[in-house]
Amino acid sequence: MATSRKKTAATTADDTTDKGSAVADFEKSLEALETLVQRMEEGELSLDDSLAAYERGIALYRRCQSALEQAELRVRQLSDPEAPENATDFSGGDSTDIA
């Protein structure tokens, strides 16, 4: 999997926009979130540490969600290059937030 991440980083390296960094940010945030969840599931954290970890987890979740929304919008723009201004998000109004 590390090889594919290197390829992703290499292919987005020439992209001068922040779109490539959104993908890298998503991967980094998701990995941090997975690690945090593992630590919390072990049950070794104090209440104070658990609350801090939960707060950090929510922030990481929101970063991941934002990166995914940016990716969805980019896909829509690429799907209709003649009218990228008509691109809308994929949610369609029935968002299912996981808190």
C-beta atoms surrounding 67 within 10 Å? 21
Q: If residue 91 lies in a helix (H) or strand (E), which one and from where to where? A: none
Where residue 42 sits, what CATH number does that domain have?
Answer: 1.10.287
Query: 29 in a domain, yes or no?
Result: yes
- The verdict on residue 99 lying in a domain is no
Whether residue 36 is contained in a domain is answered as yes
Q: What confidence category does residue 29 fall into, taking pLDDT thresholds of 50, 70 and 90?
A: very high
On whether residue 84 sits in a domain, the answer given is no
pLDDT for res 85: 67
Burial class from Cβ neighbours inside 10 Å (0-12, 13-18, 19+) for residue 60 reads: buried
What is the C-alpha separation between 90 and 51, in angstroms, rounded? 32
User: What is the percent of the chain with per-residue pLDDT over 90, rounded to a whole number?
Assistant: 43
Inside any domain, residue 98: no
Q: Answer yes or no: is 46 within a domain.
A: yes
Looking at residue 96, what is its pLDDT? 46
Q: Which domain holds residue 68?
A: 19-79
* 38 is a domain residue: yes
* Tally of domains within the chain: 1
